[in-house]
Amino acid sequence: MRRAAGILLPVFSLPSKYGIGCFSQSAYDFIDWLRKAGQTYWQILPLCPTSYGDSPYQSFSTFAGNPYFISLEALVEEGVLTEEECDAADFGEDGSRIDYEKLYHARYPLLRRAYERSAIAEDPAYQGFVAENRWWLEDYALFMAVKDRFGGAPWTEWAEDIRFCWGNALDYYRRELYFDIEFQQYLQFKFFQQWHALKAYAGRQGIRIIGDIPIYVAMDSADAWARPELFQLDEGGLPSAVAGCPPDGFSATGQLWGNPLYRWDYHRETGYAWWLSRLSHCFRLYDVTRIDHFRGFDEYYAVPYGSDTAIGGHWEKGPGAALFRRVEEALGWHEVIAEDLGYVTDSVRQLVRDSGFPGMKVLEFAFDARDTGSASDYLPHNYSEDCVAYTGTHDNETLTGWLRSITPRERQAVRDYLCDSRTPQRELYRPLIALVMRSAARICIIPMQDYMGLDDRCRMNRPSTVGPNWRWRLRPDDLTPALQEEIRRTAVRYGRA
């Protein structure tokens, strides 16, 4: 495999017109921009519909797509919306930040109007999509329709009959909410129609998509509601324990994610059928699939349900290499990146080796004075070819923000490693990007904020917080020819163009 480079930018961060990045012309323009910048990869975050907190890692479904990403411009071209209707909607005034509240109140009425004008039930392509995807779409569309009927409440607070999927209740709501269900199916049809067109265009331009799959699903999801046997839930539908991470140098109380944990014994008994469906779905969506929190397949951290922090959790064994042997046996070999960050043990390292997947190296972890044990693993001179190198990820500070926040001792260690005492701190992100790009790693992925030298006001996510995350967007004039040329020259210089 030749050396290559790419850029990390979520779809929602694209500079689209109506409040959020989507599959509009700006996505096609960004692909062209990447090609001219000498890039091979576009890494995105999960495409699934987001729930509370707007996080792509907390979704109403592991299979569905986010309706916010449907291009309104494309619906205007189809004749089911007008440009005047879209322009009249209030998506917020700050083009560099997503206002999710206004987005919700403005975009869904437009999408509903488009559906009502579409005569979608008569479309053979729609009929084929529903038939092909019924195995997940039927549960998801009903789940979302019922959720709306109950005012957005989580499924654990619904009426008992539909909460536990009793047959008579399912029949009743399918009749009662017929058009609401069809609306949800229409949204998924348009999402996947537009996504596959965009991905095909990227392929023709030589740009490969790196997608992202969260290891866990949200408690308030169609997956947990319709398939409770997959998870550690009690007879009342509540989890006995939830997912998280233990306390470490970054958080004295750990991270409490709240996702239901898997019943790995059940998955093993069924030949990992649900995981085969899930990964097969992702392999069709992306050219390369990054699996988040890979260490959870070796051991996962279980926190008693109802805990306020992750302090009282404990480690339990995951499925290990057996899952990935089964995946390769059933689905063949596919390109996967293992997100093996965090507390990494010898058994986690062995699982990554056994899987054959490249792991990740993050430069910002290399100079952490609190973690003298593993920091050297992230120094670029220690990178192997079989890894994917990053300056930072969506969970990290931007490079510029990180340089401001680290201690003077750590900042001096950065300069000593670079043999650079003269570059102003505000420009130090450039030699750090070059440091990663000239490493042995076959693939280097740089967040767009780092190439632009942006500070933590443009940070994507602060783990274990809710509020300001997942909101940063590019402005249309940010993707300048000068930035494109700088990125291209860097890729050429280090043999990655």
pLDDT digits (tens, 9 = 90+) for 450-494: 999 999 999 999 987 888 899 999 998 999 999 999 999 999 999
The answer to whether residues 157 and 149 touch, using CB atoms and an 8 Å cutoff, is no
Classify 474 as helix, strand or coil: coil
Classify 233 as helix, strand or coil: strand
Token readout for 385 is 């070819």
Q: What integer pLDDT is reported at residue 41 of this predicted model?
A: 98
Q: What integer pLDDT is reported at residue 464 of this predicted model?
A: 77
Residue 292 a catalytic site member: yes
Of the residues 292, 340, 450, 455, only one is catalytic, namely: 292
Which value, to the nearest 10 degrees, does the dihedral of the CA atoms of residues 395, 397, 398, 399 take? -120
Tens of pLDDT, residues 88-117: 999 998 989 999 999 999 999 999 999 999
Least confident of 29-38, 64-73, 303-312: 303-312
Per the structure, how many domains does the chain have? 1
Q: What integer pLDDT is reported at residue 373 of this predicted model?
A: 56
Q: What is the mean pLDDT of the chain?
A: 95
Domain span at 435: 4-493
For the cut 80, the answer to whether the pLDDT of residue 60 exceeds it is yes
**pLDDT confidence band for 371 (50 / 70 / 90):** low
> In whole angstroms, what is the distance from residue 304 CA to residue 310 CA?
8
Cα–Cα distances (Å) from 96 to 14, 16, 122, 164, 319, in that order, read: 10, 10, 39, 42, 42
Per-residue b or e along 52-63, where b marks 16 or more CB atoms closer than 10 Å to that residue's CB: eebbbbbbbbbb
Q: What integer pLDDT is reported at residue 174 of this predicted model?
A: 98
Tens of pLDDT, residues 308-333: 999 999 999 999 999 999 999 999 99
Element housing 213 (H / E): strand 208-213
Residue 395 a catalytic site member: yes
What would the DSSP string read from start to end of 109-154? Answer: HHHHHHHHHHTGGG-HHHHHHHHHHHHHHHHHHHHHHHHHHTTT--
Of the residues 85, 371, 395, 456, only one is catalytic, namely: 395
Residue 339 a catalytic site member: yes
Of the residues 54, 139, 339, 397, only one is catalytic, namely: 339
Q: What integer pLDDT is reported at residue 197 of this predicted model?
A: 98
Which residues have C-beta within 8 Å of that of residue 90, sequence separation ≥ 6?
102, 105, 106
- Which CATH number does the domain housing residue 382 bear? 3.20.20.80
